[in-house]
Amino acid sequence: MGRVEESIDVDVPVRVVYDQWTSFERFPEFMEGVEEVRQLDDLHAHWRTKIAGLSREFETEITERVADERVSWRTSSKNVKHTGTVSLRPIDATRTRVTMIMEFQPTGLAEKAADKLGVLDRMVSGDLRRFKHFVEERSAGRGTPGDG
């Protein structure tokens, strides 16, 4: 099983970060390869991704949600196997450290090769950088999380 752990400091309060992170349908705006996330209910979402030319659709289930602190999930589809946690830690009243940990089971030759080459590590790092920019820009008066 592969594992990725990345952190980034975001210049917004933890509440804003949590609210944005739990707006799953906005993920395609900052996550590379995520084409659509459709919230099915409070605990389940349907994902459509295309990464390195490989299209996948799968379901995720929230396994833990602690406001302003943590969101954990796992896939509930047979074709994609991963779990993850995003932890939020206030640095001070206006800054938050975001840490993402994902564990995944690569399937097929392409995914195994991508894992060995650190492709997912770079994607997660890029996603966190884009999330930082996304949430900071929205917080700076160009809209608030949840705006359409």
Q: What is the pLDDT of residues 67-99, one digit of tens each?
A: 999 999 999 877 778 899 999 999 999 999 999
How many CB atoms within 10 Å of residue 89? 16
pLDDT tens-digit profile of 60-75? 999 999 999 999 999 9
Determine what percent of the chain is predicted with pLDDT higher than 70.
Answer: 85
Q: Say what the pLDDT of residue 145 is.
A: 45
The phi and psi torsions of 26 (rounded to 5 degrees) equal: -90, -10
Residue partners of 48: CB distance under 8 A and separation at least 6: 34, 35, 36, 37, 55, 56, 57
pLDDT tens-digit profile of 28-39? 999 998 999 999
Strand-by-strand arrangement of the 82-92 sheet: 2-10, 95-104, 82-92, 70-75, 54-66, 44-51, 34-39
Mean pLDDT of the chain: 88
Q: Which domains does the chain have, with CATH numbers?
A: 2-22+61-140 (3.30.530.20)
